[in-house]
Amino acid sequence: MTDITLPWAGEPVRVGLVGAGPWARAVHARVLAAGPETRLTAVWARREEAAREVAAPYGARAAARFEDLLDGCEAVAFSVPPAVQTDLAGRAARAGRALLLEKPLAADLPSARRLADAAEEAGVVSQLVLTNRYHPAARRFLAAARGLEVTGARSNGLSGAFLGGAFATPWRLEHGALLDIGPHLLDLLDAAIGPVARVRGTGDPRRWIELTCEHTNGVVSQCSLSGAVHIARGGTRVELFGPQPPLVYETDGLDHEEAWPVLRREFATAVRTGVAGALDARRGLRLQELIAQAAPSRAGGAVQGKTPGRDA
């Protein structure tokens, strides 16, 4: 969808934001308010005071109820834990609102299926915030990978986010790196090499987990995931090996701000044309299926335990 001429003249898509956690504050609100393709109209969160704090810098209103948010927008962006996203996004879809969804789609596979089905049955556009896929460097990497003979691959997604700080949120600490970081790496491996047929996981998602992916074309790839390691700078690395020099995608040193205008433009274009791109709720369901394979003893890919907090 890149380089498509915007099909509207000066009228931004009116987007409501659900959530007032660290990602909502640092990314979602700011990016949606920046326009010109979108306009942040309202914010709703469990705590109205937090919603006001997120909305105020951008001239948006704090919605008292979720239904009030829906009344004032044509699309809804979500920045809440996956267990919360499932129910609210389903309600937004049934109300005819386009969906900008966080990964993972849900906390478990049955919930992900329900949400993907709800979006499809309602006929609404959906799009996933898979950050890497909107960055020009990742798109160059994937374009180069299409013509490559790949013998094998390895990747990692490592950070110290679970050790403390704003992003050590309850759902991340409970479910771990497989549910939080896993969608990014599985998506890149699946897109770069070919469809993943099977995934096996070993380890503890809350500490360190290793994934072995078997692709339909016979290639085997490896993936190391952790959010609980003390490293200078977290990031993602994917290496494709074959008879030619390795092809590498590395997020260290990238300016992540380059991804947001692409995401915003493509979401707004999808809303206005009514045509979703490849990174829709069905893609989220596909990734959730792979996550569930990697953690067969964890209730469809989710670690069982207490209900996480509502804001991501």
**Does residue 290 form part of some domain?**
no
Asked whether residue 305 is assigned to any structural domain, the reply reads no
Q: What is the pLDDT of residues 234-279, one digit of tens each?
A: 899 999 999 999 999 999 999 999 999 999 999 999 999 999 999 9
Instruction: Indicate if 217 and 115 belong to the same structural domain.
Output: no
Could you tell me the CATH number of the domain that includes residue 236?
3.30.360.10
In a domain, 22, yes or no: yes
- Provide the residue range defining the domain that includes 116: 13-130+258-278
pLDDT at residue 304, rounded to an integer: 36
Looking at the structure, do residues 209 and 109 belong to the same domain, yes or no?
Answer: no
219 and 177 within one domain: yes
Residues 269 and 241 in one domain: no
- pTM for the whole thing? 0.91
State how many domains the chain has.
2
Residues 195 and 152 in one domain: yes
What is d(CA 158, CA 174) in angstroms, rounded to the nearest whole number? 17
**What local confidence, expressed as pLDDT, does residue 312 receive?**
56
Please check whether residue 265 lies inside any domain of the structure.
yes
- One domain for residues 266 and 125: yes
Same domain membership, residue 155 and residue 219 = yes
The reply to whether 287 falls in a domain is: no
The full length of the chain comes to 312
Task: Find the CATH number of the domain harbouring 19.
Answer: 3.40.50.720
Domain identity same for 98 and 177: no
Dihedral sign for Cα atoms in the order 44, 46, 47, 53: negative
pLDDT given at position 166: 87
Is there a single domain that holds both residue 199 and residue 274?
no
List phi, psi (to 5°) of 31: -70, -45
Residue 136 exposure: Cα atoms within 13 Å on the Cβ side: 6
If asked whether residues 115 and 173 sit together in one domain, one would say no
244 and 161 together in one domain = yes
Question: What parts of the chain have a pLDDT lower than 50?
Answer: 1-4, 7-8, 298-310
In a domain, 307, yes or no: no
Give tens-digit pLDDT for 78-87: 999 999 999 9
Asked if residue 308 is part of any domain, the answer here is: no
Whether 291 contacts 300, CB under 8 Å: no
Q: Within this chain, do residues 84 and 191 fall inside the same structural domain, yes or no?
A: no
